[in-house]
Chain A
Amino acid sequence: MTSISTKLLNESGLHARPAHLFVTTAQKYQSTIHVIKDDKKVDGKSILAILTLGASKNADIVIEAQGDDEKEAVTELGALIESNFGE
């Protein structure tokens, strides 16, 4: 399993467009992907689940992936968050 801890610095957190971007990126990978915030862990490929995290700006989250392409998945998703989703 590969994981990364990161902070959401974009204005709208994991809302609307960023959440959509995150999920469509996650869906490209075979690995199972989870997003963890506080004590809640949800499926990183489900937009509804991601939205229920209510992860807004400055939230600390962890991305976890398990599978053949776990490293690539975590790297790309981490980079997406670092880039502030292009906001």
Chain B
Amino acid sequence: MVRGIGISPGIIFGKAKTMIKNQVNLEKKNIEDRNEEIDRLVHAIASSKQQINEIAIKTRATIGESEAKIFEAHELILEDATLIDGIKDKINEEMVNAEYAVSVVAKQFMDIFDSMDDAYMKEKSADIKDVSDRIIRNLLGIEAWHLADNEDKVIIVAEDLTPSDTALLDKNKVLGFVTAVGGKTSHTAILARILEIPAISGIQGIMEKLHDGDDLILDGQEGIVIVNPSPDDIHDYQEKKKVYDNQLLLYKKYLNKPSITKDGKEVEIFANIGLPDDTDKVIANGAEGIGLFRTEFLFMNRKNLPTEQEQYEAYKDVATRLKGKPVVIRTLDIGGDKEVDYLHLQAELNPFLGYRAIRLCLDRKEIFMTQLRALLRASAYGNIKIMFPMISSVHELREAKQMLQEAKKALENEGILYNDTIELGMMIEVPSAAMMSDLLAKEVDFFSIGTNDLIQYMVAVDRGNEKIAHLYHEFNPGVLRMIKMVIDNAHEANIWVGMCGEAAANPYMLPLLLAMGLDEFSVCPSAVLELRYIMSKLSVDDIKSKLDTILMMAEEHAIEKYMEEYYDKHIN
């Protein structure tokens, strides 16, 4: 048995395939023509850039937007003046071959970052290695490695897998992987978890311990590799695998089922998305709609504002693919910690209390009007609902609604189709809005409680500040009472209310929210089925009878513990 760190869960059985990267020849050679050598370097950098760009595009399509950012960062490393000039200087001054110059200069940076003993810096070192190895391979005209066509269903054993290696793994051929280098928070680990490829890292001397063709059992949860297992081992792990796989299968059974509690109360489980491509995951996981489409991603990572036409196409694409299921689209929520360079927003002392979301939109009306027009135009093609973020006063809401009216009128004058009865909602994420939710409920068709910001503002905790992070707690009685008040006020006014923050996906929170009468839960696509499963085991009447007691508890930890016990009693 070999122990490492489990970086991606799952149990698999398979044959080891050791992968030794086509080792780059780092011989130092003296060259005669500087210009020719620099030309080679420039070409290799250009090819590397193109390859990384392709990996970024593929990652965005198959894995996700935030994972694609890993490779956008790699592209920036390739453009970094200090790194590239350093390599050119080395070639010029020492008359050495480009591959040698790349390896020496990259190593200097890696050594500095490695010595800093900080997770972020270590990741930078891995990024530089990924990029510089690629430049060197391009200089030498060799490939990293790839599986031959006849090699499938293997467990890859390698000293190291870079993020770009991992993003390109073919799930049909690779059951899992085991490496010496890398930790749980590395980019490689993040990618493996999203690809659902079980993986273990941190095994010292891996190439001596595991050999080509060895039979392996890999337990990605525990970080254990069993080499050439005994019949007993195989039996044990088959049992374990059954339990694990059953859990996944159990959730999958709820794919085309309604979201309904044991005692027959129906709710809606929606999913959150950032980009139109995420819609695939929403459909694959059987969500009943999209509860939050964060439009800011359409505005990020680019050099200028998206046009009305670009936005219209993105919204229309999602609405069409959902085939009439609801799609709640939140208008631009930029500012705070989300940056957009071309808007030239000034750095602020308290960005979360500053110029962001609806505040920015009501100030820069041309941006807002463009988005409202695009949303209305797309509303002709599906069940779009518009939602305003960060409303803190009735006045703001009315001003935003006024603009929506103007947008409708303009489209009418131009003879452009839109859904005139489009539903309009707002986020409840500022305490003032929650406190006057009775008044606001008269102005909109629905609320969505954004717990991430609501908790932050209610308990006055900056989540980035580790010293006080323990105070940020969704079971804080103040937070729970406020959520209940918002739901009561919404129902009093006959409007529906959803939740699109992290709390909506917390299995221990679920019974409480059901008891309070929440109508819609919006969670990340991969959590939809688990939530539906848990829901089917719960009785609303039962937990409702305990709600008053729970809301009288004074300590968040007591409430959390109570809910954990409740969950264990009813779910398992």
Contacts and interface: CB of A to CB of B under 8 A. Distances in A.
Interface in A3-28: 11, 15-16, 21, 24
Judged by DSSP, the binding face of A is helix
Kindly name the residue among A11, A16, A48, A49 whose own CB sees the greatest number of chain B CB atoms within 10 A: A48
B25 interface: no
Contacts of B367: none
A9 B349 CA distance: 12
Interface stretch (B116-124, B193-201, B517-525): B116-124
B373 to A, nearest CB: 30
Given A15-B120, A52-B109, A52-B112, A47 B80 contact: yes
A80 B347 contact: yes
Interface string B234-278: 000000000000000000000000000000000000000000000
A29 to B, nearest CB: 14
A83 B348 CA distance: 6
Contact of A48 (B109, B120, B464, B465): B109
Nearest to A82: B347
A87 to B, nearest CB: 8
Nearest to B116: A54
B77 A83 contact: no
A79 B465 CA distance: 23
Contact of A24 (B81, B83, B341, B351): B341
A83 B347 contact: yes
B14 to A, nearest CB: 38
A36 interface: no
A43 B113 contact: no
Contact of A47 (B76, B346, B348): B76
Nearest to B354: A86
B347 A51 contact: no
Interface in B6-59: none
A61 interface: no
A46 interface: yes
Given A45-B81, A48-B80, A21 B347 contact: yes
A80 B347 CA distance: 7
Interface in B543-563: none
A85 B83 contact: no
Interface in B329-380: 339, 341, 346-351
A86 B351 contact: yes
B82 interface: yes
A52 B80 CA distance: 13
Nearest to B345: A86
A42 B80 CA distance: 12
Interface string B273-293: 000000000000000000000
B80 A46 contact: yes
A52 B350 CA distance: 28
Interface in A28-62: 42-43, 45-49, 51-52, 54
Judged by DSSP, the binding face of B is helix
Interface residues of B, number: 25
A83 B80 CA distance: 26
B120 A16 contact: yes
Contact of A42 (B76, B82, B349, B350): B82
Interface in B97-127: 109, 112-113, 116, 118, 120-121, 124
A84 B81 CA distance: 26
Contacts of B120: 15-16
Kindly name the residue among A15, A42, A47, A79 whose own CB sees the greatest number of chain B CB atoms within 10 A: A47
B351 A48 contact: no
A87 B351 CA distance: 8
A86 B82 CA distance: 27
B351 A49 contact: no
A55 B524 CA distance: 37
Given A51-B124, A52-B112, A54-B116, A46 B81 contact: yes
A43 B80 CA distance: 10
A23 B458 CA distance: 34
B82 A48 contact: yes
Given A83-B347, A83-B349, A84-B349, A49 B116 contact: no
Contacts of B350: 86
Given A51-B124, A83-B347, A46 B116 contact: no
Contacts of B464: 87
A82 B346 CA distance: 12
B81 A86 contact: no
Contacts of B81: 43, 45-46, 49
A21 B81 CA distance: 16
A42 B109 CA distance: 13
Contacts of A43: 81-82
A51 B113 contact: yes
A52 B294 CA distance: 35
B520 to A, nearest CB: 33
A39 to B, nearest CB: 15
Interface in B101-159: 109, 112-113, 116, 118, 120-121, 124, 128
- What are the 3 A-B residue pairs with the smallest beta carbon separation, nearest first? A46-B82, A49-B82, A86-B347
22 contacts: A15-B118, A43-B82, A45-B81, A46-B82, A47-B76, A48-B80, A48-B82, A48-B124, A48-B128, A49-B81, A51-B113, A51-B121, A52-B109, A54-B112, A80-B347, A83-B346, A83-B347, A83-B349, A84-B349, A86-B347, A86-B348, A87-B464
Given A52-B109, A80-B347, 9 more contacts: A21-B339, A49-B81, A51-B113, A51-B121, A54-B116, A83-B348, A86-B347, A86-B350, A87-B464
